Structure 1
């Protein structure tokens, strides 16, 4: 309406090759090298090895339309990594649509997923669920080795963009034929969704709605992922509320959460502080503290800080800095006696 202020816009530091003054949707190509020495010689012929060496030393190749040119695999079971990901994202967005942008925490969590996929079989053939997925980058990286990945967020615009990114990267995923479900998950709603109360006559089912069979499969998930979901206390509380419900149902789960500490000046404390981060930490117990006397309240989230020094930076197009962290979070519902 006339006279109303335009909604405040925010910008991530991840906006690759964007022309000055550009606004709206943009397609970025996130690349990573892959040393051929990590792969057994007997599984690859000389032609394969040459292609991998080229991919490790050069940028990805685009056609005249800007699309990624991919080298096709002859064996769908080969597990070497490809040349990168294609992600459509906004350069700026309102606070309510920050999921349209790529944030550095998503990049470092993608590095973590790539590293685990390359150096272990921990993520092979698992069922996983990504919370607040935004552009879907982390879930897309995981889908290369997982059996099923539920990529979740809220809002048709964010979910539609996420679906477009899955389609853009479909060639990267076909060699393992993973199942990817893009589903709406509002952290202020209940889990599991009560499908019996859904009135699809007045509110038609969308392509992002859950089916009962999908809920059952999601509850068998053993891995949860989330990146850059800690930036307001209200949102953090909602996140941990849905997290408790997810972790209390079905299979035992572990969450890997990546975040970036954000600082602002506090008039109350007359100092630059990271209050959002402090609130997040207040909801966690360190592993050494867990089980202390007199602390019987639920839920119990136990946090362990991952040493990023042991996680190589595979994705080239961002700077980690000192304020990025990854936490391993587990949940215990047992009340102490």
Structure 2
């Protein structure tokens, strides 16, 4: 049963680096990225010539039990936080896999995936990073998924989608589209469009300077249409691992616009005080996007 969120700022700050789970245990924790890191980061080369042999070996296989298949995901930790796997992504993939194998049994995602007549489920993923969640969602749900991130991340997304193209082909209806999306940028959001049945995201609440752009992006996709008309009810499912008290500012903003509740939580692991929590957010009373202050 979902639990409504009442407060998010009671715990002490968490160590952000000990809470990042890189599935190869010998890897060093990532260095924090500054705003300049993002601005100065150059795109990855589209050819193997620009990638070292060590980077080519930095891959992970993920077994999806419900479809008896493996996903191959390349990580490039030296390129930044967007190029490595975070704990919330694996939690969300596990939930999707469980739902796929137990679709007739009530589970945390049961009410979110309603069969669509004569078409695949349409899913949008925000802040896709390596693409693990979006690619897994497409394969597990035979869905049409659009994965998004900043322009400098897209080359690795293309690599990982292509690496799993055969898996997607054998699952009828499964498709992964790739698009650039800077949160809060009207041009990017309008280019992607609003015709989605579900929005996914994992470990998005990290840099506090991005809280407002993320909220603006969620307003665009979850609330009413620009002409003031109501839109169908679309949920945002976000897996998140708490690291700092300051994250409560994001959830306070979110609760002004959306009904926010918890649909799943992992127990703490690896000596952490908290585990990954999966939230569901839906627009309050189908508010029009124009009725909400910026």
TM-score above 0.5, yes or no? yes
Residues 219-265 of structure 1: CA distance to partner in whole angstroms, max 9, x if unpaired? Answer: 22110001011012221221111110111345431010011111xxx
Q: Which has the higher contact order (CA 8 A, sep 6+)?
A: 2
- Consecutive unaligned residues of structure 1, counting only runs of 5 or more, are 1-9, 35-79, 195-209, 263-273, 286-298, 312-317
Give the direction of change, closer, same or farther, for the CA distance of 1:236–1:102 in structure 2 (3 Å limit).
same
Alignment of 1:1-337 (within 5 A): 12-16=20-24, 24=55, 26-31=58-63, 34=65, 80-93=66-79, 97-120=80-103, 122=113, 125-144=120-139, 145-156=141-152, 158-175=153-170, 176-190=172-186, 193=189, 210=191, 215=192, 218-248=193-223, 249=225, 251-262=232-243, 274-285=244-255, 300-308=257-265, 322-332=274-284, 333=287
What displacement does 1:147 show?
Answer: 3.2
Q: Is the radius of gyration larger for structure 1 or structure 2?
A: 1
CA contact (8 A) 1:104 1:320 kept: no
Residues 103-134 of structure 1: CA distance to partner in whole angstroms, max 9, x if unpaired? Answer: 00111111122122222272662101000000
Residues 68-112 of structure 1: CA distance to partner in whole angstroms, max 9, x if unpaired? Answer: xxxxxxxxxxxx41233111012344xxx4211110011111112
What CA distance in whole angstroms lies between the structure 1 residues aligned with 2:248 and 2:233?
27
Runs ≥4 in structure 1, deviation > 4 angstroms? 17-25, 191-194, 318-321
3-state secondary structure, aligned to 2:93? helix
What CA distance in whole angstroms lies between the structure 2 residues aligned with 1:133 and 1:161?
11
3-state secondary structure, aligned to 2:186? coil
Residue equivalent to 2:3: none
Give the direction of change, closer, same or farther, for the CA distance of 1:20–1:255 in structure 2 (3 Å limit).
closer
TM-score by length of 2: 0.67
Residue equivalent to 1:197: none
Q: Is the helix fraction higher in 1 or 2?
A: 2
- Consecutive unaligned residues of structure 2, counting only runs of 5 or more, are 1-16, 30-52, 105-112, 226-230
CA contact (8 A) 2:142 2:173 kept: no
Give the direction of change, closer, same or farther, for the CA distance of 1:326–1:181 in structure 2 (3 Å limit).
same
What CA distance in whole angstroms lies between the structure 2 residues aligned with 1:173 and 1:16?
26
Give the direction of change, closer, same or farther, for the CA distance of 1:331–1:146 in structure 2 (3 Å limit).
farther
Root-mean-square deviation (CA, aligned residues, Å) is 3.1
Give the direction of change, closer, same or farther, for the CA distance of 1:91–1:320 in structure 2 (3 Å limit).
farther
3-state secondary structure, aligned to 2:238? strand
3-state secondary structure, aligned to 1:304? strand
Residues 279-321 of structure 1: CA distance to partner in whole angstroms, max 9, x if unpaired? Answer: 1221243xxxxxxxxxxxxx61111112336x9xxxxxx9696
Question: What is the total number of aligned residue pairs between the two structures?
Answer: 225
